[in-house]
Structure 1
């Protein structure tokens, strides 16, 4: 999975996990990523996650999906910076996504995160066409 898709899926799952009872585990896993790459920023990131969680909970109570979309875009940018600084962190982010973030989500939100990641393979002279709504598609 390319870095942009990974960051997008992880950000969406992270914001979704903020509204769950398993949030503490998700927060710890994400902060640990920063501790490895930007240790001087880890405490700040943890504090920001706590603030953002409050925003997510308020938005959900108000039924405002646009707030969550904006927060996911913000965390996608942050995760991309993390991956640019340490490309080797992609495997760890994938692990956190698969083992911590996605399992903490309700079934409907798991499907939304999975829809961000679309894979297709073509061989010979065949072509693959994929379409998605509100998703940036990159060729790799």
Structure 2
């Protein structure tokens, strides 16, 4: 297996488990399940159940300060993703896209947006770091 795919699996396993304890949990679960649905539809429902069980285990581990269990959960998801990529390497780009949507800093490079604007007179300035919808009447 390609070293880049192994590293992607490691990053995905860590990101998935880390994001389970955040507000991005539902998006994380939905993204990973959708990946499995495309790659191995017969396993998608099982993966959703495994994600839910892992989240329960993670939250318990964090409540009790059990860092070993948290690392074991990351390792388990790294293995699951590695096996999926081994069977279906063509989904690597889909996985990268999902990870970047869930956590823009997942690739390890910090991302920032710096904006500066000036308006004078009746001028208006609209800035956004992402989507922006403006409705004026």
TM-score by length of 2: 0.73
Offset of residue 114 of structure 1? 2.5
The structure that is helix-richer by fraction is 1
Question: Structure 1: which 4+ aligned runs deviate by more than 4 Å?
Answer: none
Q: Which string of whole-angstrom CA distances, capped at 9 and with x for unpartnered residues, describes residues 73-131 of structure 1?
A: 1111110111111111110111111111x25xxxxxx68x729xxxxxxxxxxxxxxxx
Say how many residue pairs are matched: 107
List alignment gaps of at least 5 residues for structure 1.
104-109, 116-140
Q: Which residue of 1 aligns with 2:108?
A: 114
Q: Which runs of 5+ in 2 are unaligned?
A: 110-137
User: What's the Cα RMSD here?
Assistant: 1.8
TM-score, reference length from structure 1: 0.71
Corresponding residue for 2:69? 67
Cα distance, 1:12 vs. partner? 0.3
Which is higher, the Rg of structure 1 or of structure 2?
2
1:9–1:114 CA contact under 8 A, matched in 2: no
